[in-house]
C-alpha cells in the first residue's frame, strides 16, 4: 500500500517535471501579449529570452527597419480588388433577368451542374427544391443507413448571396473564370434564386424578374442565422475567442481515462464489403521497377486530349460529342471540318475557348483530327 502510494507520488513528480520543461522551453501561453485568449482555443508561443517554442529568434531592434516594395496604385487595386462583401462592397451596378439567366445557364453551366442546377457526376447541386424547406433538413443526421441527410446547397445552406455573386464572377465557369459580364452574373444569380424559390422582399422571382444591385442587397438567405460563432460586427472576434475557449462548443475533450473507459466488449463498426478502394495508382507494397509506360506512339494529340479534353468528351454526359460516338461526330461534322475546328478554338455552347486549356491553335487542330479519327 505504502509502496504503491510512493510510486504514485513519483509518477506525479515526473509528470510535473515534464510539464515544467515543456513550459520553460516553449513559453506556451493561452493568451496573447494583449491579454486576449488565443482565438482558436489553443496555444501561442510568444518570443521570450530570444526564443519562440524551441526556435531561436533574431531579436535585434533594427529588425523592424527592414522594408521593401512600393505602394499599390489606385488602378492596380481596382484591377485586383475583385471580392464582393455582404454589405455590397465590391458589388458593381448591373442587371439581368431570370429568363436571361436561364439561357446563360443552359449554355455555360448546365454541362456540369445539369438541368435546373440538379447537380451530379461529382458536381454540386445548386438547388434541391424550395430552399426554405430544404433548410429544415439541416437538422437531419444520418444515424442509420436509410435516413435522409441534410441538404447543403446554395439555397438551403449559404448564409450570404454575395458569396455566390463573387464566386460566379471570379471562379465560374470553372474552365473559364472571369469571362462573364456583370449583367450575365446578375442574370445567373436571378436564375439561381428562382430555382431555389427564394423570394426578395416577399416577391417570387418569375421569368421576367430583373435583378439589379439594389434588389440584390435586399436578399436574405434562408440560412443566414445558421452559423456559429457570430463573426459580424465589432464583437465578431471576441465571439470567436469565447466560442473556442469553451471545449463543449466544438467537441473538445480534456479528460484522459486510462482504465475501463467503457463497459463490456468494444462495439466494432467495420468497412462494408471492400469499402472504397478504386485508388489510382492501386496500392502496392512491391519494390520493383515500373513497367515501361504504354507508349502513345508519340501521339501528342492523344496525350493532350487525355490531359485536357477527355474530362468532358470521354462521355456525352456534358452534352459534348463523345469520342468514339460515330453518330455524334458525323452530326457534328455536318457543320464542316473548318467550322468544327474554329468552334474548338473559340468555344461553343458550354465549352470555353480551347476548352479552357493552354494550347496553341495548331495543337487544337491536331486534337480535333485525333478525336474525329478515334470516332470513325
Partner 1 sequence: MNKIDKISNDELSVVTEEPASRRSFFKKTAAYSMSAFAAASVLAPVKVKAGDDPAIMEEQPWATAWGTPVTDNLYGLPSPYESNVTRRTTELLSSGNMRASIAVTPIQDITGIIVPNGLFFNRNHGGTPEIDPNKHRLMIHGLLEKSLVLTMDELKKYPNVTRIHFIECPANGGPEWRNPQFPSIQFAKGFMSCAEWTGVYLKDILKDLGLKPEARWMLAEGGDSSHMGRTVPIDKVLDDAMVVWGQNGEALRPEQGYPIRLLLPGWEGNLMVKWLARLEFASEPFYCKEETAKYTALTNKDGKAIQHFYANEVNSVISSPCPEKPWTDLKKGDTVEIEGIAWSGMGTIDGVDISFDGGKNWVEASLKGLVLPQAWTRFSYIYKYEGKPLFLSSRARDDAGYVQPSIKQERDAIGIEGVYHRNGIHTWEVTEKGEVHNVQILS
* Touching partner 1, residues 146-185 (CB under 8 A): 149-150, 152, 154, 157-160, 162-164, 166-167, 170-171, 174, 177-178
Residue 56's alpha-carbon distances to 46, 47, 61, 341, in angstroms, are 12, 9, 15, 61
Site string for partner 1, 22-51 (x = CB under 8 A): xx--x-x-x-x---x-xxxxxxxx------
Total site size for partner 1, rule CB under 8 A? 127
CA atoms within 13 A on the CB side of 176: 16
Segment 112 to 141, residues that bind partner 1, using CB under 8 A: 112, 121-124, 135-136, 138-141
Segment 197 to 226, residues that bind partner 1, using CB under 8 A: 226
Nearest distance, CB of residue 182 and partner 1, angstroms: 16
If the CB atoms of residues 239 and 343 are measured against partner 1, the closer one turns out to be 239
53 touches 23 (CB < 8 A): no
Nearest distance, CB of residue 276 and partner 1, angstroms: 5
97 phi/psi in degrees, rounded to 5: -95, 165
If the CB atoms of residues 202 and 276 are measured against partner 1, the closer one turns out to be 276
Spatial CB neighbours of 372, under 8 Å, sequence gap ≥ 6: 329, 333, 337
Q: Which one of residues 5, 49, 80, 362 is an interface residue with partner 1 (CB under 8 A)?
A: 80
Nearest distance, CB of residue 323 and partner 1, angstroms: 17
Site string for partner 1, 336-365 (x = CB under 8 A): ------------------------------
Residue 376's alpha-carbon distances to 295, 325, 326, in angstroms, are 22, 8, 6
Segment 245 to 304, residues that bind partner 1, using CB under 8 A: 247-272, 274-281, 283-290
Closest CA to 196 of 174, 220, 179: 220
Q: Tell me how far apart the alpha carbons of residues 183 and 192 are, in angstroms, rounded to a whole number.
A: 14
Nearest distance, CB of residue 179 and partner 1, angstroms: 11
323 touches 374 (CB < 8 A): yes
If the CB atoms of residues 157 and 191 are measured against partner 1, the closer one turns out to be 157
Cell of 296: 502513345
Nearest distance, CB of residue 55 and partner 1, angstroms: 7
Q: Which one of residues 12, 17, 59, 83 is an interface residue with partner 1 (CB under 8 A)?
A: 83
Bridge-based pairing of strands 210-212 and 51-52 is unpaired
Cell of 212: 439589379
Amino acid at each position: 500500500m505504502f509502496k504503491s502510494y510512493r510510486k504514485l507520488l513519483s509518477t506525479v513528480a515526473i509528470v510535473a517535471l515534464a510539464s515544467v520543461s515543456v513550459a520553460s522551453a516553449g513559453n506556451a501561453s493561452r493568451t496573447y501579449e494583449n491579454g486576449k485568449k488565443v482565438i482558436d482555443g489553443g496555444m501561442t508561443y510568444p518570443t521570450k529570452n530570444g526564443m519562440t517554442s524551441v526556435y531561436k529568434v533574431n531579436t535585434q531592434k533594427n529588425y523592424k527597419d527592414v522594408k521593401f516594395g512600393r505602394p499599390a496604385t489606385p488602378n492596380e487595386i481596382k484591377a485586383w480588388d475583385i471580392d464582393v462583401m455582404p454589405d455590397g462592397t465590391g458589388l458593381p451596378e448591373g442587371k439581368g433577368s431570370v429568363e436571361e439567366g436561364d439561357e446563360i445557364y443552359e449554355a455555360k453551366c448546365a454541362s456540369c451542374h445539369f438541368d435546373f442546377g440538379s447537380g451530379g457526376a461529382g458536381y454540386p447541386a445548386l438547388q434541391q427544391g424550395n430552399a426554405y424547406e430544404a433548410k429544415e433538413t439541416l437538422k437531419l443526421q444520418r444515424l442509420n443507413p436509410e435516413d435522409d441527410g441534410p441538404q447543403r446547397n446554395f439555397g438551403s445552406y449559404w448564409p450570404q448571396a454575395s458569396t455566390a455573386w463573387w464566386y460566379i464572377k471570379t471562379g465560374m465557369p470553372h474552365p473559364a473564370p472571369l469571362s462573364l459580364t456583370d449583367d450575365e452574373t446578375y442574370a445567373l444569380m436571378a436564375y439561381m434564386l428562382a430555382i431555389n424559390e427564394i423570394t426578395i422582399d416577399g416577391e417570387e422571382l418569375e421569368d421576367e424578374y430583373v435583378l439589379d444591385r439594389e434588389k440584390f442587397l435586399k436578399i436574405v438567405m434562408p440560412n443566414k442565422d445558421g452559423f456559429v460563432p457570430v463573426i459580424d460586427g465589432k464583437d465578431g472576434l471576441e465571439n470567436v475567442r469565447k466560442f473556442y475557449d469553451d471545449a463543449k462548443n466544438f467537441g473538445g475533450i480534456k479528460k484522459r481515462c486510462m482504465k475501463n473507459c467503457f463497459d463490456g466488449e468494444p462495439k466494432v463498426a467495420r468497412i462494408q464489403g471492400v469499402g472504397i478502394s478504386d485508388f489510382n495508382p492501386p496500392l502496392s507494397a512491391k519494390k520493383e521497377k515500373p513497367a515501361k509506360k504504354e507508349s502513345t506512339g508519340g501521339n501528342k494529340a492523344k496525350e493532350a486530349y487525355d490531359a485536357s479534353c477527355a474530362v468532358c468528351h470521354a462521355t456525352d454526359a456534358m452534352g459534348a460529342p463523345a469520342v468514339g460516338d460515330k453518330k455524334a461526330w458525323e452530326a457534328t461534322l455536318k457543320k464542316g471540318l473548318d467550322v468544327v475546328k474554329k468552334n474548338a478554338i473559340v468555344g461553343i455552347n458550354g465549352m470555353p475557348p480551347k476548352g479552357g486549356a493552354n494550347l496553341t491553335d495548331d495543337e487544337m487542330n491536331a486534337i480535333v483530327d485525333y478525336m474525329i479519327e478515334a470516332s470513325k
